Amino acid sequence: MLPSERDVRYLESLYPPDPDLERVRAGMEAHGMPDIAIRPAYGRLLTLLVAARGARRVLEIGALAGYSAICLARGLPPGGRLISLEKNPDYARVAHAHVAAAGLADRVEIRVGDALTLMPALVAEPPHPSFDLVFIDADKQHYPDYLEWSLRLLRPGGLLVADNALMHGRVADPVDTAPAVEAMRRFNRRVATDPRLVSTMLPAYDGLVLARVREG
């Protein structure tokens, strides 16, 4: 059984308000941005995953307003680095402002451009592979491509995390054959069957993918 919205509200009520993340939500509304940032519990999970992995270099695909960037950066140790890729320059400016207001500007670099152009450039940057964790939350139609580039960028033992595996139930609807839905189905199948990965998928919120790159 999935948690009800009442259960979610109860669990969220146990945590104090987070001014930095509330600022992001308000900024999204003020700038007319879509309200598609991750939920607070998911944000706390990202912080935990970065810290538990001991990640020093993290890659984010899709910055939006900086909500997930703040959560990821909070898990980094001193000297750790998050590179966030954002196609929309206006969104990138908003994200940078929110990250700076949260006191994390020294840990976060936002690069503006198409991720499928920026990720190959990252492969060419030494050392390689250099990322301990990759978080994907961007254009769903390109998830299969993001996966392949992520596997080239992640160190052995690195973590892949991706949002929206369910696309609000659309991937489970065989009648829905929209390009983005078909791409997400391919992504999910690849994560589940790729011998390079040990993975699981959780139905919480809109579907969460967690995978670890095999070592050796």
For the chain, the domains span 5-213
Pairing of strands 57-61, 208-213: unpaired
Of the candidates 21, 22, 36, the residue with the CA atom closest to the CA atom of residue 72: 21
pLDDT tens track for 7-57: 989 999 999 999 999 999 999 999 999 989 999 999 999 999 999 999 999
**Mean pLDDT over residues 117-121, rounded?**
96
131-136 vs 154-163, strand pairing mode: parallel
- Alpha helices in the chain, H assignment, sequence order: 5-13, 19-30, 40-53, 67-74, 89-101, 115-123, 143-153, 179-193
How is residue 131 annotated by DSSP? E
* Residues contacting residue 190 through CB under 8 Å, at least 6 positions apart: 144, 147
CA distance 110 to 82: 8
- For the segment 165-173, the average pLDDT, to the nearest whole number, is 95
> 5-213, superfamily in CATH?
Vaccinia Virus protein VP39 (3.40.50.150)
Please report the pLDDT score of residue 205 as a whole number.
84
Q: What is the pLDDT of residue 129?
A: 80
C-alpha span between 69 and 99 (Å, rounded): 7
- Is the pLDDT at 128 greater than 90? The verdict is no
Q: Looking at per-residue confidence, does 2 or 71 come out higher? A: 71
Helices 89-101 & 67-74 angle (0-180, nearest 10): 40
State the DSSP H helix or E strand holding residue 211, giving kind and residue range, or none if neither. strand 208-213
Q: How far is residue 51's CA from residue 132's CA, in Å, rounded to a whole number?
A: 11
Share of the chain above pLDDT 90, in %: 90
What is the per-residue pLDDT for 1? Answer: 66
Give the pLDDT of residue 126. 83
pLDDT score for 180: 97
Coil, strand or helix at 149: helix
pTM for the whole structure: 0.96
Average pLDDT of the residues in 92-111: 98
Please state the φ and ψ torsions of residue 9, each to the nearest 5 degrees.
-60, -40
